Every structure is written in structure tokens, then in C-alpha cells.
């Protein structure tokens, strides 16, 4: 009807020895004027390679999503506190489910609380150790592990839970060496800490 032609994805059915083969094609139909009795011509392109590539990409994406789900499940159930921070603001962008169980804080509350990881370090010594580790990681270095005490309570009426942890903080680098995130792993060493305290008291 004189409109600009647009490609349309179709399938050609090709019977071969009683076996039906379907060939994906792109078809563009364009009008012809002044050449009677021709009205239009069609350009048909074999799209089988493109369709195969699209299917391969879709398959890769499906596998990536499954791997992400498996990895998230693994991290959530690991007996560790695992976190990720923005290197510029220090804002929490990821916290695994085990942290929710250990600190008894809902994940959504932790993620929206400013400086949550730093504020969870209870005493000045722990806070200073975290600040130093964060600064070194932000500069691309790998800070030495440190021990600290963590706790979080939502109101004075809540039961206070305090744990001793051994913390490892490190930078996450891009291919160009830029620090794109600060990650950390906190191991609960409360039982070990209590055992050492009893030993000293004896």
C-alpha cells in the first residue's frame, strides 16, 4: 500500500522425504510501480544462523541465572557473614542471610541503614579496625584480618546479641584495576573467644 517495507519473521516449510523441515526466514515485500503486471517483489533471507545464535544466547542466560541462584543459595547458607559495600559511600549493597540469623536483623533493615556494617562494630577499637581495613581496601590494598565484636539491636527492649568475629576485608577490582566494591567475610569466633577468656581467667 505504498508504506515503507518492514521485515517480517516467518517460517518456510520444506518437505524432504516425508520429513518436514522448517526454515526461519526474514521477508521484506516491496511494491513495484511501472512494470506491469508485477505488483511487488519479496526478499527472503535465511535466518537459521541468527535464530540459532539467539537460542544459544537464551540458553547461556538461562544457565547464568541458574548459576546465580545456586551461588546466592550457597552464600546465604554459608556459616559466615558476607557483605559488599560501595567503595565511595560505604553503603551496604549485599548481605547474606546468615548475617540476618546471627545479628537478628531483617535484611531490608540492614540494607537501608546507613553505615550498617560500621555501626554493628560495638566498641571504638573494633570501629577503628574496620575503618582502617576499609580505607586500605578502598586504595586497592588487602588489609590484614582483624578481630572485632558485633551487635545490633532495634530498640532498648530487644534482646542484645553480641558475637566475636574474625574479619577479612578486601577490594573487588575491575579488569582495569579499579576498585568497584569492598567485600568482607566475618567468621563467628564467639566460642573460640570464650574458650580463650576462660583459659586466661584460670
Q: Is the pLDDT of residue 199 over 70?
A: no
Count of residues making up the chain: 202
197 band by pLDDT with thresholds 50, 70 and 90: low
Q: What pLDDT sits at residue 156?
A: 53
Task: Output the CA torsion 93→95→97→100 (10° steps).
Answer: -110
Q: What pLDDT sits at residue 98?
A: 87
Q: What is the pLDDT of residues 34-64, one digit of tens each?
A: 777 887 888 999 998 988 888 899 899 889 8
First to last CA, the chain: 97
- Cis peptide bond N-terminal to 37, omega within 30: yes
Q: Give which of 93, 110, 94, 92 is closest to 102, Cα–Cα.
A: 110
* Euclidean distance between CA atoms 106 and 149, whole angstroms: 19
Q: What is the pLDDT of residues 10-26, one digit of tens each?
A: 898 887 777 788 889 99
Helices then strands, counting H and E runs in the chain, come out as 6, 8
Q: What pLDDT sits at residue 198?
A: 65
The rounded mean pLDDT for the chain is 85
State the greatest distance between any 2 C-alpha atoms of the chain, in Å, as a whole number: 109
Helix (H) or strand (E) holding 26: strand 19-31
74 SS3 class: helix
Amino acid at each position: 500500500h505504498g508504506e515503507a517495507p518492514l521485515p517480517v519473521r516467518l517460517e518456510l516449510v520444506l518437505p524432504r522425504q516425508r520429513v518436514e523441515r522448517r526454515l526461519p526466514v526474514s521477508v521484506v515485500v516491496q511494491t513495484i510501480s511501472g512494470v506491469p503486471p508485477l505488483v511487488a517483489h519479496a526478499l527472503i533471507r535465511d535466518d537459521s544462523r541468527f535464530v540459532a545464535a539467539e537460542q544459544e544466547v537464551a540458553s547461556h542466560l538461562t544457565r547464568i541465572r541458574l548459576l546465580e541462584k545456586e551461588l546466592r543459595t550457597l552464600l546465604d547458607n554459608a556459616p559466615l557473614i558476607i557483605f559488599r559495600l560501595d567503595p565511595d559511600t560505604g553503603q551496604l549493597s549485599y548481605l547474606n542471610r546468615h548475617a540476618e540469623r546471627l545479628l537478628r536483623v531483617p535484611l531490608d533493615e540492614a540494607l537501608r541503614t546507613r553505615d550498617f556494617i560500621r555501626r554493628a562494630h560495638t566498641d571504638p577499637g573494633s570501629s577503628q579496625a574496620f575503618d582502617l581495613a576499609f580505607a586500605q581496601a578502598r586504595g586497592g590494598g588487602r588489609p590484614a584480618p582483624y578481630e572485632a565484636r558485633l551487635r545490633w539491636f532495634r530498640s532498648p527492649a530487644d534482646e542484645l546479641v553480641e558475637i566475636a568475629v574474625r574479619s577479612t576485608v578486601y577490594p573487588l577490582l575491575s579488569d582495569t584495576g579499579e576498585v568497584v566494591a569492598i567485600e568482607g567475610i566475618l567468621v563467628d569466633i564467639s566460642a573460640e573467644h570464650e574458650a580463650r577468656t576462660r583459659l586466661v581467667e584460670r
